[in-house]
């Protein structure tokens, strides 16, 4: 445990794990064996598996973005769940993974999450998912196993992404994606359709330019 780190009452840290300087492990957090928690990480309301790596500045277990809108003032919905992180997961710098509202937020074994990724409450990532930087997942989205998500992808809430699906960078996912499919664009469509749309739009622009 490096200088300036804080470990709360009842927290558990497995054998061979390291906690970086100025990190905070809140009361009741459980960290497995062989984990590496880098500098200025905050962990609360979470159970973390073995051999997990969490890079600098990441926040895990804070309240999700949940409230009931009212004209007289919005009412916050209590966030009562946890974040469950499997074994052999690596999470990049400055990510935010919210605790669940009732059910838990889950990151499956072997996932790789890049820097600056936002994962909302109740989101579930299956085994071995890969998420590139600046992607964001709204609450209760569910990804199957070995899904690949490009940079700056936005996934709307309550959607289902099937096993082995791939999503091209900067796509906006607004509907479920079947297993094994490759999607891209905004809104995201099958990748061939997206390429066709791009070609048709380019041709239309060229024709319009010539007509002038």
Active site residues: 121
- Between CA 91 and CA 111 the distance in angstroms is 8
β-pairing, 18-19 vs 36-37, is parallel
Q: Apex CA 49: angle with CA 46 and CA 53, to 5°?
A: 90
Q: Could you say which DSSP state residue 103 is in?
A: S
Residue 156 contacts residue 170 (beta carbons within 8 Å): no
Query: Residue 62, Cα to own-chain centre: how many angstroms?
Result: 13
The edge-to-edge listing of strands for the beta sheet with 96-97 is 6-7, 24-25, 42-43, 59-60, 96-97, 118-119, 136-137, 154-155, 172-173
């Amino acid at each position: 445990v490096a200088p300036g780190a804080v470990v709360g009452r009842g927290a558990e840290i497995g054998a061979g794990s390291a906690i970086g300087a100025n990190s905070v492990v809140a009361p009741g957090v459980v960290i497995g064996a062989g984990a590496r928690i880098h500098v200025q990480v905050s962990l609360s309301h979470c159970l973390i598996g073995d051999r997990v790596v969490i890079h600098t500045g990441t926040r895990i277990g804070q309240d999700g973005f949940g409230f009931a809108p009212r004209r007289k003032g919005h009412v916050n919905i209590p966030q009562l769940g946890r974040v469950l992180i499997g074994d052999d997961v690596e999470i990049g710098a400055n990510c935010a993974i919210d605790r669940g509202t009732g059910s838990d937020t889950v990151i499956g074994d072997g996932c790789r999450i890049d820097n600056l990724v936002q994962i909302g409450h109740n989101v579930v990532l299956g085994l071995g998912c890969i998420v590139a930087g600046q992607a964001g997942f709204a609450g209760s989205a569910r990804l199957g196993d070995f899904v690949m998500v490009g940079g700056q992808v936005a996934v709307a809430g309550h959607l289902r992404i099937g096993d082995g699906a791939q999503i091209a960078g900067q796509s906006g996912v607004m509907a479920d994606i079947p297993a094994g499919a490759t999607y891209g664009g905004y809104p995201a469509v099958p990748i061939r359709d997206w390429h066709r749309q791009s070609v048709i739009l380019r041709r239309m622009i060229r024709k319009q330019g010539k007509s002038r």
